Amino acid sequence: MTDYQPLMASIASKARAASRLLAAADDAAKARALTYAAQALRDQSADILAANAIDLAAGTKAGLSPAMLDRLKLDAARVAAMAAAVEQVAVLADPVGHIIDSSTRPNGLQMARIRVPIGVLGIIYESRPNVTADAAALGLRSGNAVILRGGSEAVHSNRAIYAAMLAGIIEAGLPADAVQLMPTQDREMVGLMLRAQGAIDMIIPRGGKSLVARVQDEARVPVLAHLDGINHSYVHKDADPAMAQAIVVNAKMRRTGVCGATETVLIDQDYPAAAELIGALIDAGCEVRADDVLMELDARTVSADADDWDTEYLDSVISARVVSGLDEAMEHIARHGSHHTDAIITDNADAAACFLAEVDSAIVMHNSSTQFADGGEFGLGAEIGIATGRLHARGPVALEGLTTYKWVVRGNGQIRP
């Protein structure tokens, strides 16, 4: 077996050196690099599509599922969308250098907390080649060096996209090692990235649940991610029925494969329009796995078993149960939720305030669809992902979540008594 440790050390060392230059790089240079990179993506569209054709042919031969092949596939419109996304990141405000707070102590020392890049980010992802451009753009815009490790099934596409990003970086006068793409697909490199404490500052996995689970399980480097999005919409007794029905159907059915989709609806025992709500979900094409009470309301429901309350379907399926009130709803969420996104629908301000204060999730919502769980919808301009960990950054993570701070202390000769 090849010992890849020297290669990993070399990549990490180049990333660290680049990160020091990037931390001092000015805003305009970082923005310019992305503008140039977007243009390079457009200019090199034919190369990118040719590389993608190789991946698609190999994937078809290897028997990848139609869904995987669709995630892998690029066309002119998708390359154009990728370039546009990079340009959108270019015009976001740079968080680096922002003064979080400052004070002057009685002895005259001036204290300030200043935003700085985290340093070196490792991105581990699967078949979607656009992550090569997205992650490089967000990492670079926030002043971080980035090490990319994409899926083997997209290796040619990723290399072609990376070449365009690199052209933009170099043209803007930033260090070539600001973004590095792993030169080998050997899986050992993933393990080395996950154990690179001190060399890589944060790992961000982008992909399916098995990838995220492996990364969270093996990593010694901090990980920014979410494993599950077992999200709840709780229909309180004082919910407006028309609003509740519109929100729950949207929260489940708008796109069933996104992490912000509602997977369980909790319905108050005193909510007057439960049958209509269940019926609307079924009419919209959703399978409703219900408890005994709700099964009485519609013969088209099926019986939920114990596992259903802990299942992220990512499909046209929802689990549904009756709760005795706010407390039981919050207990259900505390026991079965994944701390991602949970919503209450009610016209009762006290119930809403209690739910928003006590439910311990990255995103808590009142009278809106859990499908809004997305950095763009939150006004962040983009997102590197949604985090359900409790430290550093929670919920949708964009540029600010890719920074940390340092304390800058200015004196004029103070010594400590």
What backbone phi and psi angles, to 5 degrees, belong to 222?
Answer: -55, 145
Among 23, 58, 81, 213, binds a second copy (CB under 8 A): 23
Closest distance of CB 93 from a second copy, Å: 13
Answer yes or no whether residue 405 interacts with a second copy by CB under 8 A.
yes
Judged by phi (left if over 0) then psi (alpha if -120 to 50, else beta), residue 395 lies in left
* Residue closer to a second copy, measured from CB, 4 or 378: 378
The token pair that represents 194 in the structure block: 């996950």
- Judge residue 370's burial from the number of C-beta atoms within 10 Å of its C-beta, 0-12 exposed, 13-18 middle, 19 or more buried: buried
* Residue closer to a second copy, measured from CB, 57 or 353: 353
Closest distance of CB 246 from a second copy, Å: 6
C-alpha 296/C-alpha 284 separation (Å) is 19
Answer yes or no whether residue 357 interacts with a second copy by CB under 8 A.
yes
Let me know: does 132 contact 168? Beta carbons within 8 Å: no
Answer yes or no whether residue 336 interacts with a second copy by CB under 8 A.
no
Q: Which of the residues 112 through 171 are near a second copy (CB under 8 A)?
A: 116, 118-119
Among 2, 3, 24, 63, binds a second copy (CB under 8 A): 24
Among 50, 75, 105, 275, binds a second copy (CB under 8 A): 105
3-class secondary-structure state, position 220: coil
Scanning 3-11, 178-186, 250-258, 274-282 for contacts with a second copy by CB under 8 A, the matching segment is 250-258
Which residues contact residue 402 at a Cβ distance below 8 angstroms, ignoring those fewer than 6 apart? 117, 118, 121, 138, 139, 142, 144, 202, 384
3-class secondary-structure state, position 93: coil
Answer yes or no whether residue 395 interacts with a second copy by CB under 8 A.
yes
Sign of the dihedral through C-alpha 92, 96, 97, 100: positive
**CB hemisphere CA count around 308 (13 angstroms):** 19
3-class secondary-structure state, position 348: coil
* Residue closer to a second copy, measured from CB, 22 or 31: 22
Q: Which of the residues 195 through 224 are near a second copy (CB under 8 A)?
A: 201-202, 222
Among 82, 394, 397, 398, binds a second copy (CB under 8 A): 394
Closest distance of CB 354 from a second copy, Å: 8
* Residue closer to a second copy, measured from CB, 67 or 353: 353
Answer yes or no whether residue 28 interacts with a second copy by CB under 8 A.
no
Let me know: does 296 contact 269? Beta carbons within 8 Å: no
Q: Note the residues at the interface with a second copy (CB under 8 A).
A: 20, 23-24, 103, 105, 109, 111, 116, 118-119, 201-202, 222, 240, 243, 246-247, 250-251, 254, 334, 352, 356-358, 360-369, 371-372, 377-379, 390-392, 394-396, 404-416
